[in-house]
Structure 1
């Protein structure tokens, strides 16, 4: 059992109980870690309820729109003031509008937006929230981090392969992975923080419900991935490795938790063909 007693974690990205970030927060809490959660206006009530129901200190919850550096600063300074230096930082935030992800709404007769017509303003908002926010959070967090801190972000294999229903969000994930490896290089020497990413398979969360053909992808993953589909708990288990001393010499890594889907060149059917 990983012992995170006297460790402090700040978690960005909990939306509701189905969030991968929530499963990671719960596992951190159970390992003895003091856990702080950010929220936005429309997730505040849900986040506070989940914290109360699971014995987490709601004084360590705070508003943080990741587009707003002042919000992030206020939240992380609150965590530092109450709990002390931050050992673990989770970036589990992503957002892309319909026009960025290029999908049509269920029951709509309107065609899906075209990839080549992704609006610049919509894309930049998705990039700001889903990728650049990691850099922003790390910039604010740097003076508040404990020595040998661990920073973790969540990515998706669409950064490397074409998933038509992910479209412009795939650009954001590719950028996120690049930001991650450069931050891993930046946090060296006296800064001594490690920065890694988990590339999770398709988990049925509120956010993934917006991906076009998500159920078809899950069905395909059931047969294609050597170990089958995953759930949020599988990602949380892997995250706990990075949020422990077991990973003290691991940085700049993209860790696939997708049942092996990423190694396959072709989809297979239920007979393994």
Structure 2
């Protein structure tokens, strides 16, 4: 039995076939889910469309989360097409390059605000839009990183931003739980994705994770997708407010 048979989900954050969100979308599809997928602009659409085709997405919609009208349009389309929504995967993060590569101490007000808005508050906005569509409960799932919990060299301002995202997961879980809506975050180990390539000295982070993780290996987008599938399924109906590590055990190390 496919554990997501009959479920309808929105996947936000696919940049290309190597994205964490792409690995999740493929796993959701294999588990039987119907999907709506977004792309940020026309340039990115060429990289997202092959994934949408592979997973037989029923909707492929533009979404720049800084544009409220586009966010409204996505949820209006879901409401008119499906009438309900069972889960969301939010896998987006952004910080201006100068702020990302600089010290937290030196982060600009504009850079911090933009990083928080795109990486964290967009998840809250999606939760608000999804709530009336999750008539029989559902699951909101976002993507964090170990740098939210511990200082990771070169992760810089994204550490505090992801910490805010993880705290938001807990508060949303408490608020939406009575409606049967679960809220969780994935915390994958470092992966060679386009988003990760913006982090300075990322190869060092990759090599350290491979050498020190208890399993002595890196995780894959397929690994993350499999865990994401379980979390949005009814098998995890009592799991909410969690940060789930998918990192070959790296997070247990001092």
| 1:1-273 paired onto structure 2 within 5 Å | 2-41=2-41, 42-52=43-53, 54-57=54-57, 60-102=59-101, 113-189=102-178, 191-227=179-215, 228-265=217-254
The Cα offsets for residues 138-163 of structure 1, whole Å up to 9 and x where unpaired, read as 11111112412011110001011112
Aligned-residue CA RMSD (Å):
1.4
Which protein has the bigger helix share? Answer: 2
Count of matched residue pairs:
252
TM-score by length of 1: 0.88
Structure with the greater alpha carbon radius of gyration? 1
2:220 and 2:177 map into 1 onto residues whose CA distance is 33
Check the 8 A contact 1:34/1:83 in 2, yes or no.
Answer: no
Classify 1:10/1:212 alpha carbon distance in 2 versus 1 (closer, same or farther; 3 Å): same
Deviation at 1:80, TM superposition (A): 2.5
Offset of residue 188 of structure 1: 2.3
Cα deviation, 1:203-262, whole Å, max 9, x if unaligned, reads: 110011111121111111112110122111111111011121110011000111111111
Q: Counterpart of 2:152 in 1: which secondary structure?
A: coil
2:99–2:106 Cα contact (<8 Å) kept: no
Indicate conservation of the 8 Å contact 1:96/1:123, yes or no.
Answer: yes
Following TM superposition, by how much is the alpha carbon of 1:55 offset from its aligned partner in structure 2, in angstroms? 4.9
Return the alpha-carbon distance in structure 2 between the equivalents of residues 220 and 7 of structure 1. Answer: 38
Distance in 2 (CA, whole Å) between partners of 1:199 and 1:14 is 17
> 1:86·1:145 contact (CA, 8 Å) conserved in 2?
yes
Q: Which runs of 5+ in 1 are unaligned?
A: 103-112, 266-273
